[in-house]
């Protein structure tokens, strides 16, 4: 599929497809369907939340999250553990995703570069509710209409370089 000009019907349909997928994707996190969320990633896919807004590489400095698929599985297996003390009681989240833009398309790879803005409310009983927000950058593979795989998801959180209490759920 080629990306038509902004404003064309094709483009609008694609943007809505992507938007629906992103709404579905972050909804899995809010519904605590972490394993299903992990399954959205390609085998070599990764999730990255930089520790500074200008961090351009997850390998030359530390990150809030930099998970490949095996690490996601380890992370979420722990969240399912009956004695995961730092998540008893667990955090509840509400993700919102908007301002979706189609920023690029690699026809040979079938990969789309997607931008979006997000907000995540997080509340763990007994603690102050927190608000995180910022920019998402995705690399999505389109397998069929409305059917995407994530080869990369990057969440640049506005206050990523602040000092944080523990964070359990991906942005």
Chain residues in the site for another protein (CB under 8 A): 49, 51-52, 55, 59-66, 71, 74-75, 78, 81, 83-86, 161-168
> What token pair was written down for 106?
């690699």
51: Cβ–Cβ under 8 A, 6 or more apart, which residues?
61, 62, 63, 64, 160, 161
Least separation in angstroms between residue 156's CB and another protein is 14
Q: Specify which residues 48 forms β-bridges with.
A: 66, 154
* Shortest distance, position 47 Cβ to another protein, whole Å: 11
The CB-of-63 to another protein minimum distance in angstroms stands at: 5
Q: How far is the CB of 18 from another protein (least distance, A)?
A: 26
Q: What is the CA radius of gyration of the chain?
A: 16
Tell me whether residue 18 or residue 64 sits nearer to another protein (CB atom): 64
Helix (H) or strand (E) holding 131: strand 130-144
Q: Closer to another protein at the Cβ: 61 or 99?
A: 61
Find the shortest distance in angstroms from Cβ 70 to another protein: 9
CA distances from 98 to 27, 50, 70 (A): 13, 20, 29
Instruction: Decide whether 7 or 82 has the Cβ nearer to another protein.
Output: 82
What are the CA-CA distances from residue 12 to residues 75, 135, 164 (Å)? 36, 21, 38
């Amino acid at each position: 599929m080629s990306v038509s000009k902004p404003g064309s019907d094709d483009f609008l349909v694609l943007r809505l497809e992507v938007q629906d997928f992103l709404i579905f994707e972050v909804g899995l996190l809010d519904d605590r369907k972490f394993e299903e969320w992990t399954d959205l990633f390609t085998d070599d896919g990764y999730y990255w939340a930089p520790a500074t807004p200008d961090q351009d590489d997850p390998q030359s400095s530390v990150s809030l999250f930099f998970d490949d698929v095996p690490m996601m599985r380890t992370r979420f297996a722990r969240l399912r553990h009956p004695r995961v003390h730092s998540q008893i009681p667990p955090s509840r989240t509400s993700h919102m995703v908007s301002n979706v833009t189609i920023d690029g398309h690699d026809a040979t790879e079938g990969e789309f570069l997607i931008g979006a803005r997000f907000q995540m409310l997080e509340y763990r009983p007994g603690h102050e509710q927190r608000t995180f927000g910022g920019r998402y950058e995705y690399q999505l593979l389109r397998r069929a209409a409305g059917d995407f795989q994530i080869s990369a998801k990057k969440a640049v959180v506005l206050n990523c370089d602040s000092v944080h209490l523990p964070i359990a759920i991906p942005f």
